[in-house]
Each structure stands twice: as C-alpha cells, then as structure tokens.
Amino acid sequence: MDAMKKSSTKNHQIFVANWKMYTSADEEIRIGSENYDNFIDLARNPNHEIILCPSFLSLHTLSNIFKETPVQLGAQDCSEHNKGAFTGQVSAKSLKAAGCSYCIIGHSERRQFNAENNQQISLKFQHLLDQGIAPIVCVGENETEYQEHRALQVLEDQLKEIFSLMRSSKYTLRDLPICIAYEPIWAIGTGNVAQPEHLNTVFAWLANQTKNIDPSINWKFLYGGSVKANNAAWLKEIEYLDGFLIGGASLDFQEFEKIVYCTN
Ligand code: PGA
C-alpha cells in the first residue's frame, strides 16, 4: 500500500519498526513470515499505520511477502546520489522499485558512525520526494545539549535545510507524509525516555515551526528513544504526536503489539 493512502485519515497513529542491524536478513524474513497474519491484523485497523524497516537485504523479499496487504515497508537509509559510481550505496529509485513507501534518513547512528551531515540528509530527502517515498527525518540532541537546554536550537539547525526546501514549493506532494522523528540521542537504546514536559515543548515547537511553511503539507511527528509497552500509553498522550519510531522493542512481535495497543 502507498504511504499516501492511509495517511489521509486523521487521528491514525504511525508505528515504525526500525530493525537496525540487530539480526540477519534470514531472521528478518522469518520474523515477517511467522507474524504475517499478526502484522496484517495490526495494520488493518484504520487507526494504525504499520511500517517495517528491515535491512536492505531483506527489504525486497519482505515487501513481496506483504504485497497487497496494509503492512508497509521502509528502508533505514538511502543514498544522497541518484546513480553512479557509489559503491555500497542504494538509491531512492531502487528503494521504490523494491516496494518501499517510507525511508528513515538522518538517524543519529548514521550521523555518528557514518559522519552524515545536514546537507547530505537534505539531498537524500529530495531524492525520496522525487520517488514519492515518505521521508522519516530523524533529529535530536545529545545528552550535553539536553542538559544545557539547547535541544530546540539543535533541532532548528538540523531541520533548517529541510524546512527551506519545503518552503520552496518545488514539490507536488499530494498527501505524501513528511515525517519528523524526534529521537533524543540520550534516549535511544538506553531505557531513558524523555519526560512529558520536555516532549510537550519539543512537539509544540515542531508543530509551530511547520504550521506556516505550507498548510497543504502532511507533516507527521514521531517520537523515538526507548519506546516500550510500559511507556507507550503516556507517550501517546503527548500533543501533536502522530506515532513512534521503535528500535529494540520492535523485533519482538508481542512487545510491538503491546505498544500498538497500549497494553502492558
Ligand atoms: P530504541 O531505538 O527504541 O531501541 O531506543 C529507537 C531508534 O533508534 O530508532
């Protein structure tokens, strides 16, 4: 299914499973196949959007497995280039052909371990829009920046180029979701979830920043960083939040299901 179709429904929540490099491609395919009916049941609910982001290697197979179902596939990254001599990279066009409707870009692990900068991330963003793939742009401050109350300043910096691209009205987006995932680095994989007061400030800021860019843009705001079954209920109460980017907890279907249904 296309990212555009379901997102036109208001009040639905987006659950992105970021499987990172936690397991092998075979195992990812096994998780998808063994839970085929379960994932479809979750995604069939009109209030849920379920997006699986496995490694590149299993993306095509999983997208074939879930073809013609409401379960959607996303990639964990894409190249900042269109095509050419870029060994080891995967283009947005190939992702589209592999059945991707979403793609994570600018994840803090890529910023940290692959030295990605905001300019590269904005190029990736443009290639995704050109292909009609919904981008999930990850932003977030580190522990020191958080302690020094500089989170919004960091976000402003990380989103500057994306916002100016969106202001330029160069793209015909129709309903394509433009997702911003706020993932404080100190919350990723640590068990430390950002507190409601901080999240309210950040998401209100995001809503305010994006409000005036172009009212027709389908902005979606996600939170990521130690989302688990035991904190999903209160996190869902955060104003302006449209869903979650879930790492470690998303590989265990039972845990993932509990997050989606808020049962603990
Ligand atoms: P986590 O990861 O849920 O394991 O903290 C989230 C992410 O990095 O996207």
For the chain, 264 residues long, give each residue's pLDDT as a single digit of tens: 556 544 444 468 999 999 999 999 999 999 999 999 999 999 999 999 999 999 999 999 999 999 999 999 999 999 999 999 999 999 999 999 999 999 999 999 999 999 999 999 999 999 999 999 999 999 999 999 999 999 999 999 999 999 999 998 677 777 899 999 999 999 999 999 989 999 999 999 999 999 989 878 999 999 999 999 999 999 999 999 999 999 999 999 999 999 999 865
Given the residues 28, 48, 80, 107, select the one marked as catalytic: 107
Calculate how far, in angstroms, residue 131's C-alpha sits from the geometric centre of ligand 1.
26
Catalytic (active site) residue 255? no
Note the pTM of the prediction, 2 decimals.
0.95
Which of 14, 15, 18, when mutated, tests ligand 1's pocket best, judged by the most ligand atoms within 8 Å of its CB? 18
Question: What atom of ligand 1 comes closest to residue 16's alpha carbon?
Answer: 9
Residues 6+ apart with CB under 8 A from 183: 107, 108, 138, 139, 140, 223, 224, 225, 245
How far apart are the C-alpha atoms of 128 and 95, rounded to whole Å? 9
Residues 6+ apart with CB under 8 A from 88: none
Helix, strand, coil tally for the chain in percent (to 5): 45, 15, 40
